[in-house]
Structure 1
């Protein structure tokens, strides 16, 4: 069972919703939505809402920054 910590993040490190994911990756909600729809972010749709693990989002962008 999960409890909401700060609105859109759970004890499991899940980030719920496109806007919350956008804040984590420092992109606009529109950019984030397009990335989610294209499958460019490690996220899934659950009950009509996008959900991603904060750790997976950070890992994805850390990999990009190290290879650039």
Structure 2
């Protein structure tokens, strides 16, 4: 998804992703490394699209 200016809102780094989803860095690293949350690793850093990440947590559990 894009913000009002038409640009993607990316969250860069494990710490910032953890803050966004309200989890510890350790929990977030586990979820990222096992593919449990939508994000990609670019070099040594993780990146996630804010709306996609938040929508993932708002979806009902299967």
Comparing both chains, which one has the higher relative contact order based on Cα–Cα distances under 8 Å and sequence gaps of 6 or more?
A: 2
Query: Aligned to 1:15, which of 5, 11, 15?
Result: 11
Q: TM-score, normalised by structure 1?
A: 0.75
Corresponding pairs, count:
56
Match of 1:52 in 2: 48
* Aligned residues: CA RMSD: 1.6
Structure 1, unpaired ranges of 5+: 1-10
Q: Which runs of 4+ in 1 moved over 6 A?
A: none
**C-alpha separation in 1, matches of 2:38 and 2:8:** 16
2:23 aligns with 27
